[in-house]
Structure 1
Amino acid sequence: MRVSSIAAVAAAVFLIAGCQTPPERSGTAAGTGATAQGAGVTSRGGADGVDRLSGPLSEQLAQVGDRVFFAFDQYALTPEARRTVEGQAGLLSRHGGVTVRIEGHADERGTREYNLALGDRRAHAVKDYLVALGISPTRISTTSYGAERPAVLGSNEQAWAQNRRAVTIVLSERVGS
């Protein structure tokens, strides 16, 4: 019953989102004042109205790992998660003009409020480790989506494990930095 309700809501959201006309984008990366054309960087709007970059840096982030996973009801970084965040820190150290957002997520178990708080603790665990590795906290923002944006639909351990995560998103980059 719960899965069918979630599927119905997701279908309605996709139907409504598909009817919207995307806003026109200029060739300037949000907030940087630098034109990204010719640098292989494109801007795409997020559902939250914040431009994300897709280009060489986002691809590099995906290669080192743009997400870390957590055990049930936990926000402590595992050794594997620490290695991923260390790779992110190395990339951010080499690209000083980059700002990122850490998005914390939870699986569907628990109340909405609890999952939002857990997602927030997960996002801050990643941010705190990046800061400990020398990345300026002014370059990192955090947000929590709780269970609102699952990566995988399903009510089983395999789906839940994929949804207990923190994702690092590239928001802005100075071209040539």
Structure 2
Amino acid sequence: MMIKYATPLLITATLVLAGCAKKAPEVLPPAPVDTYTPTQPVDQGPGYAAGSQGDFLANTMSDRILFDTDKFNVDQRDQAILQSQAQWLARNPNARITIEGHADERGTRDYNLALGERRANAAKNYLASLGVSPSRMTTVSYGKERPKALGSNESAWAQNRRAVSIVVR
């Protein structure tokens, strides 16, 4: 008995709702106006602004050097990376950098802050030995507070034991 009344009711409801469907407008609204006008060149894509972080990344081997567990020595691979950074800094005499020291999650907060500081200073000292003025470089340690990779395994830890050079304008 319920099916007998439900079918006509369902058909009526469908027809009523179909009659309420929106009709397409006769005239489309105007296209949006591009209101974004950059005041400085964007640091992405080809054509980086000279002296920018994008230019730095495009023209150096890397912005970071990696360390072994509990170490802060600059090995041969790190030396090559830092030499490419020193060459870029020589071509961009107005650029300044901040070198961030990082550690993996193992160890206490205080230990990792101190280790991150030693890593950042090792990179700074090597750049200074290549002729980069220490006044153009600052260091900061984040210890284990800003991991690059999440995880509690050797792969993640290896990525987090690093010193990263950031261009500051």
The two structures have a TM-score, normalised by structure 1, of: 0.67
Provide the residue aligned with 1:61 in structure 2: 56
DSSP-derived class of the 2:117 partner: helix
Report how far residue 58 of structure 1 moved.
1.6
| 1:117-156 equivalences in 2 (<5 Å) | 117-156=114-153
Question: CA–CA distance in 2 between the matches of 1:72 and 1:91?
Answer: 29
CA displacement, residues 127-160 of structure 1 (integer Å, 9 cap, x when unaligned): 0011000011000000000000000000000000
Equivalent of residue 109 in structure 1, options 106, 116, 127: 106
Equivalent of residue 98 in structure 1, options 95, 98, 118: 95
More strand by share: 1
DSSP-derived class of the 2:72 partner: coil
Provide the residue aligned with 1:23 in structure 2: none
Equivalent of residue 88 in structure 1, options 85, 89, 100: 85
Provide the residue aligned with 2:27 in structure 1: none
Q: Which amino acid aligns with 1:111?
A: T
- Alignment gaps of 5+ in structure 2: 1-37
Report how far residue 71 of structure 1 moved.
0.4
Question: CA–CA distance in 2 between the matches of 1:152 and 1:55?
Answer: 29
Q: Which amino acid aligns with 2:66?
A: F
Distance change (3 Å), C-alpha of 1:128 and 1:111: same
Q: Which amino acid aligns with 2:53?
A: S
Report how far residue 62 of structure 1 moved.
1.6
How large is the RMSD of aligned CA atoms in angstroms? 1.6
Question: CA–CA distance in 1 between the matches of 2:155 and 2:133?
Answer: 35
Equivalenced residue count is 125
Report how far residue 41 of structure 1 moved.
5.1
Question: CA–CA distance in 2 between the matches of 1:163 and 1:128?
Answer: 21
The sequence identity of aligned pairs, in percent, is 50
Report how far residue 55 of structure 1 moved.
4.2
The two structures have a TM-score, normalised by structure 2, of: 0.70
DSSP-derived class of the 1:116 partner: helix
Structure 2 residue 168 is the aligned partner of structure 1 residue 171? yes
DSSP-derived class of the 1:170 partner: strand
Higher-Rg structure is: 2
DSSP-derived class of the 1:158 partner: helix
Question: CA–CA distance in 1 between the matches of 2:97 and 2:145?
Answer: 20
- Alignment gaps of 5+ in structure 1: 1-25, 28-36, 43-53, 173-177
Question: CA–CA distance in 2 between the matches of 1:107 and 1:79?
Answer: 22
Question: CA–CA distance in 1 between the matches of 2:131 and 2:79?
Answer: 14
Report how far residue 59 of structure 1 moved.
2.2
